[in-house]
Amino acid sequence: MKGLIHITLVAFLLLSSGKIFAQQIAQYSQWSSHQFALNPAHAGIKSCIDVHTLYRTQWVGFGGAPRSGMFTLSAPLNAKRKQYFSARQGIGMRFESDRIGQFNTNRLNAAYAAHFNFTRDTRLSLGLYGGVIQLGYDPSSSTTIDPDPTVLKEASFVVPDASFGAWWNGQNYYAGLVLDHLIASRWKNIGTSSKFHFHALLNAGYRFQFTDKFTLIPAVLIKIPSRGPVALDLQMMADLNNQFNFGLGFRNQDCLVFFAGFKINQRLSIQYSFDATVSALRKASSNTHEISLSYNSCRKERSSTSACPLFE
């Protein structure tokens, strides 16, 4: 059964007709808590060093299913501002590893962003990711009925990578845009016309502060590939005392997401999410697990205990 699943994954990824689509970018359920992993405009958006790590094992028990991990670090540039509303700047880096079937992708990017305040509560941020992608293909676990050099040829190569991001936020809302895989590099020695395809991401959220200690944040993420169906993620997160959070999410035609997290202190936090598969894949695997750790060096300067991770 496992070998059959591997064959299916390879065929799914390598057919060159352009009518079969694959997951080319890593997918995370905790995207609203790790905005910099998606959007380079978040580089240095906080006034302190911000570090995030995450590991995801998708469709547990499904042979060749995705396993993803990432590490990000961002920091502001300590340049003196001539005026309060003049631009701030930030830098950062992202390392991401994604394995699915016979494919292993490693992505390393450096980031730069500029942040422009229009008022004390509204800000526009623009950012760029630049770096490389290393893609490897190992056909050793693949078998075909007839010999097929397109499927059974091993390959590994490195290509350039770039993304653009924009971010707008006020005191209680945010909206983001990401243009990913701006360089459509071809996959060397894999398939006949395979390549990295352009993706666009749109996301937004709003904070409802009911009391000083209870906050509700609905959010949406829309993923638009150049080829393939649009994916929609919806989330609703409740935050208590800016220390505990829990919520529910939905990914169209895929899964329900349950997540919870807490801050060990004001600088270190942990988050866990569980995806309950609702698509036809539930016959082979019914769950996905994701865990993350975050750290920032920001000092606590506010007396408010309401959640504000994205609006600072």
* Residue 216 reports pLDDT greater than 50: yes
pLDDT tens per residue across span 83-112? 656 678 999 999 999 998 888 999 999 999
Percent of the chain exceeding pLDDT 90 equals 52
Residue 23 scores a pLDDT above 60? no
pTM for this one? Answer: 0.83
Give pLDDT tens digits for 110-142: 999 999 988 888 999 999 999 999 998 887 766
Distance, CA of 291 to CA of 85 (rounded, Å): 37
8 Å CB contact between 237 and 214: no
What span, in angstroms and rounded, lies between the C-alpha atoms of 176 and 168? 6
Residue 81: pLDDT over 90: no
Distance between CA atoms of residues 243 and 269, nearest Å: 9
Residue 8 predicted with pLDDT over 50 = no
Q: What is the mean pLDDT of residues 256-284?
A: 87
What are the Cα distances from residue 276, in Å, to 134, 237, 290, 303?
A: 31, 17, 12, 38
Looking at residue 149, its pLDDT comes to 64
Query: What's the distance, CA 208 to chain centroid?
Result: 24
Return the ∠ at Cα 70 (arms to 68 and 73), rounded to 5°: 175
Please state, for a pLDDT cut of 70, what percent of the chain lies above it. Answer: 79
**Bigger pLDDT: 229 or 37?**
37
**Per-residue buried b or exposed e for 211-234, using 16+ beta carbons within 10 Å of the residue's own CB:** eeeebebebebebebeebeebebe
**Domain 2-296 CATH (choose: 3.30.70, 2.40.160, 1.10.1790, 2.60.40):** 2.40.160
Alpha carbon distance 42, 127 (integer Å) = 7
Which residues pair with residue 231 across a beta bridge? 223
